[in-house]
Each structure stands twice: as C-alpha cells, then as structure tokens.
Amino acid sequence: MTSKTPILQIKNLHVEVEGKEILKGVNLTVNAGEVHALMGRNGSGKSTLSYTLMGHPRYTVTSGSVEYRGQDLLAMSADERARHGMYLAFQYPVAIPGVSVSNFLRATVKARRGGDIPVKEFRKELKECMAKLGVRDEFLSRYVNDGFSGGEKKRLEILQMAMLKPEMALLDETDSGLDIDALRTVAEGINALHNKDNAVLLITHYQRMLDYVAPGFVHVMQGGQIVKSGGSELALELEAQGYDWVAKEFASSGAN
C-alpha cells in the first residue's frame, strides 16, 4: 500500500435504517498513520457510520461509495471486511456464554491471519498484549463478556484489537462507562497499537478520551453529516462551548 492510497475513503454516503435516512452525505478520508476523532450528540449518526462500515445488515446504503485501501468496501461481506483488516470496538459489547476468552481470541486471530499459529507463539503474543493492557491471567478462562464490568469489556475490545492488528480500527465510544484508571489503561493500549501503517477512527462524545489519545483530525457530526472538521483544538472548543454553537452554525449555513 502506498501512502497515496487512503486506508478509508468515504464519498457522499447515504444510509437508511428501516426506511429512515440516517446518514445524509458523509465524506471522510483517512490515511495511514492518522488518528481521527468523530464527535457529536446522540442521534447524529456516529454509530450508524461505524456499523455501516463494518457491514451490519440492518444498515442499507442507498447511495455513495466507500473504498478501503483502494477496494470497494461495500462489495465485501462483514467477515471479509474483518479479514482484510477492519475492526470495530463496540460501545456495548455482547456476552457470549460458554465461549472462553482464550478460545475466542485464538479463533479470531486464526481467521484474521488466514491460518493457525503455533500454540506457544500464540500464548507468548497474548501474554505480552495482556501485560500492556493490565489484563490478569484469569481473564482468559472466563466466558466472553459474561458478567464483565464495563471496564473489563472495553479492555477485552482493545485486547482483541492488539491481537488482530487491524489496519483500520473503528472505536465506538470506547470511553463510555470507564472510570479514570480504566480510561487511561485503554487509551495507553490504543496508543501502543497505533503506528504509521494503520489508522484509528475514534467515536466519542467527550474531550476526556482525547486527553490521552491525541487526534490529528476532529470531525463533528450533525444531522447525518460531517459539518465541521479541524485539528485537536476543535475538540477543546466543543468542550468549552458544547454542540449548540455547531448546530447554530450548521443551521445558518442553510444545510438540511
């Protein structure tokens, strides 16, 4: 992949959910090595965008295009997108009773890499990732997200990301429900995994996550569109003024 080819390029994306239009012309380009923050009120379309990018069947693309590393992302099934290096950390991860974290991680890593890896090598890599994220050994024998606290669920999401090594990571309100210590640990994990060859789209309501994961680009969603973009200073401005000033600016521009 050359630096001239964006990891993700979204053009005029329109999306419906059960016949209701939610995304109304989203445009966004994400290059390798970049961290983008997507901010906005509830209902602005942030999570809809992340689910659409991962191929959730409930979300219907009515027009527009999405290219992932130069390929038509919308032509891929959800599992193909994951195998090609797309990853979504859910805001509300679901429990999978009866499936241990260890077996779950091994199966997903095998699917992502297109083949099995030796047990010894897998365990070594897993232990190293767990140490970075402050995850205890007994975590591995528990069932996926079954009885997990909010912080434990988010740590598991980041642990999965560490093992899968995606090129494009979509983090949907990963800071939701975290206390300050868990937030710091998760953010350190994100920073440790980010490099010049991958990219992160961090969806959040609040500046506090961005105190630990510094975005190069900040975008604000309003009414199913990205209506304002800037650098990290934009997040600070949102923190100080709230979203009302963006909404007023959007309305005065005559957008609908």
Averaged confidence pLDDT in the chain:
91
Mean pLDDT is highest, among 22-31, 83-92, 186-195, for 22-31
CA distances from 90 to 65, 75, 199, 255 (A): 23, 22, 17, 31
Tens of pLDDT, residues 98-142: 999 999 999 999 999 988 889 999 999 999 999 888 888 999 999
6 token code pair:
């964006």
For residue 185, give the nearest of 106, 125, 130 by alpha carbon.
Answer: 130
Task: Name the band, by pLDDT with cuts 50, 70 and 90, for residue 186.
Answer: confident
How does residue 2 score in pLDDT terms, banded at 50, 70 and 90?
A: very low
Q: Are 183 and 208 in contact (CB under 8 A)?
A: yes
> For residue 249, what pLDDT band results from cuts at 50, 70 and 90?
confident
Tell me the pTM.
0.90
Calpha distance 214→37 (Å, rounded): 9
pLDDT digits (tens, 9 = 90+) for 76-86: 999 999 999 99
Residue ranges covered by each domain of the chain: 8-252
Of the candidates 160, 10, 6, 169, the residue with the CA atom closest to the CA atom of residue 85: 169
User: Quick one: how far is CA 224 from the chain centroid?
Assistant: 18
Q: What does CATH list as the number for 8-252?
A: 3.40.50.300
Q: What pLDDT is attached to residue 46? A: 94
**Rounded Cα distance, 41 and 4, in Å:** 33
**pLDDT value, residue 254:** 57
Cα(56)–Cα(231) distance, integer angstroms: 30
What are the pLDDT digits (tens) for 189-198?
899 889 999 9
